[in-house]
């Protein structure tokens, strides 16, 4: 599914279920970061008209996801806490070398976004299938569909703006690299933890 090389161990859901407040907090920040990523692509690459149009729509969609998660937190009587350290993202960033042409930088940012969407989608699917809390399971099923579309969009833009063969090769390397990161994770109540 989604090209990911290492599926999440379903036992991760057991960890999540013990601390719904924590997973919702982490998830809220994921949606916030997805919004920021879309805005920063508009700021950095204004001349890519089609990208700017799609990112403008994405900003609205991701901030609406943030609100949906935030509403869940409020409904359950909690208050959104501070952001958590995201080891997954820290490790993922190390894959991409600094510098390179403007196009290379754009392709890297698109692949990075595609991968985060793909892994989020995989985790949401697992939550939708395994959570005992049916209300939350339905919530995650709906979000899973959105994130799958985002994954396809980011990967499509990377192939469109970069050199397709090179992009595909880099994507495969990134998937291998990500599988190594994931082999050490899957043990905390974080969307990518």
Residues 93-152 interacting with Fe ion (rule: CB under 5 A): 117, 147, 150
Which of these ranges, 9-17, 64-72, 159-167, 181-189, lies near Fe ion under the rule CB under 5 A? 64-72
Shorter beta-carbon distance to Fe ion: residue 50 or 163? 50
Site for Fe ion contains 65 (CB under 5 A): yes
Which of these ranges, 63-71, 72-80, 96-104, 162-170, lies near Fe ion under the rule CB under 5 A? 63-71
Distance CA 53, CA 50 (A): 5
Token look-up 């959104």 returns 80
Site for Fe ion contains 70 (CB under 5 A): no
Reference 84, options 180, 183, 193, 187; nearest CA is 193
Shorter beta-carbon distance to Fe ion: residue 4 or 9? 4
Which tokens sit at 128?
């939708």
| Helix, strand and coil percent figures for the chain, each rounded to 5 | 75, 0, 25
Shorter beta-carbon distance to Fe ion: residue 65 or 170? 65
Q: Check residue 97 and report its DSSP letter.
A: P
Shorter beta-carbon distance to Fe ion: residue 64 or 187? 64
Which tokens sit at 93?
């960033």
Binding site for Fe ion (CB under 5 A): 31, 34, 62, 65, 117, 147, 150
């Amino acid at each position: 599914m989604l090209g990911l090389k290492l599926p999440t161990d379903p036992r991760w859901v057991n960890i999540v279920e013990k601390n719904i407040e924590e997973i919702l907090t982490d998830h809220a920040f994921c949606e916030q970061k997805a919004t920021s990523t879309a805005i920063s692509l508009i700021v950095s690459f204004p001349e890519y008209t089609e990208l700017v149009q799609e990112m403008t729509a994405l900003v609205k969609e991701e901030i609406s996801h943030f609100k949906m998660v935030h509403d869940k937190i409020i409904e359950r009587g909690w208050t959104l806490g501070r952001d958590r350290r995201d080891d997954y993202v820290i490790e993922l960033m190390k894959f991409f070398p600094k510098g390179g042409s403007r196009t290379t930088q754009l392709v890297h940012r698109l692949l990075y976004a595609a991968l985060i969407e793909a892994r989020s989608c995989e985790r949401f699917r697992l939550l939708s299938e395994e959570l005992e809390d049916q209300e939350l399971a339905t919530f995650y099923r709906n979000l899973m569909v959105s994130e799958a579309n985002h994954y396809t969009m980011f990967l499509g833009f990377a192939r469109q703006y970069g050199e397709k063969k090179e992009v595909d090769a880099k994507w495969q390397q990134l998937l291998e690299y990500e599988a190594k990161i994931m082999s050490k994770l899957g043990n905390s109540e974080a969307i990518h933890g």
